[in-house]
Amino acid sequence: MNTLRIGLISVSDRAANGIYQDQGIPALEAWLSSALTTPFIIETRLVPDEQPLIEETLCELVDERFCHLVLTTGGTGPARRDVTPDATLAVADRLMPGFGEQMRQISLQFVPTAILSRQVGVIRKQSLILNLPGQPKSIKETLEGLKDENGKVQVAGIFASVPYCIQLLEGPWIETNPQVVAAFRPKSARRDTNS
């Protein structure tokens, strides 16, 4: 069985230098543990805001560690040191613009400065790479989407599309906890759960 492998990269000069505790990776690990019902293996990396190092780490997780999904957190703004999207685009085979568009759409529900975010989604080989925000609250909102007080989805989170994308890339079948985020697949791509 092809076990789902997920790479997590937190990009931060200060966290990489031990100035403060990284919050991105623990937030991602906690969210994935609540959202995925499929078994998975995680590879984590903490790197400074240096484009060559980010590129090298992305390539390592895809090319050598065979991660099906790589999530980065941090370094997506317009500041000169924010180079995560640049590194991601440099190692990409194909751009998946819908992910970045939806991430900004979600964040715009909260802050007008969401338009300053340069988050991207790309494919390298048969892996999906997504740049997420740096703050734990924003990470959760971006992945999960926005729900009303009854739990009904108002704005879809990006993770609803991830299992089907990984399936199209010939990766493992991914099931999610619908209470957190319901994986969406077209009818033709669904498995018959009654068999």
What confidence score (pLDDT) does residue 194 get? 46
Residue keyed to tokens 């190092």: 53
More confident residue, 191 or 168: 168
Residues with Cβ within 8 Å of 190's Cβ and at least 6 positions away in sequence, in order, are none
As beta bridge partners, residue 7 has 43, 70
Helix (H) or strand (E) holding 123, with range, is strand 121-124
More confident residue, 83 or 148: 83
Residue 184 clears pLDDT 70, i.e. is over it: yes
What confidence score (pLDDT) does residue 193 get? 53
Between 19-28, 36-45, 59-68, 83-92, the lowest mean confidence (pLDDT) is in: 19-28
As beta bridge partners, residue 9 has 45, 72
What confidence score (pLDDT) does residue 195 get? 40
User: Hey, how many other C-beta atoms are within 10 angstroms of the C-beta on 39?
Assistant: 10
What confidence score (pLDDT) does residue 1 get? 57
Domains of the chain are: 4-189 (3.40.980.10)
Residue 19 clears pLDDT 90, i.e. is over it: no
Confidence of residue 133 (pLDDT cuts 50, 70, 90): very high
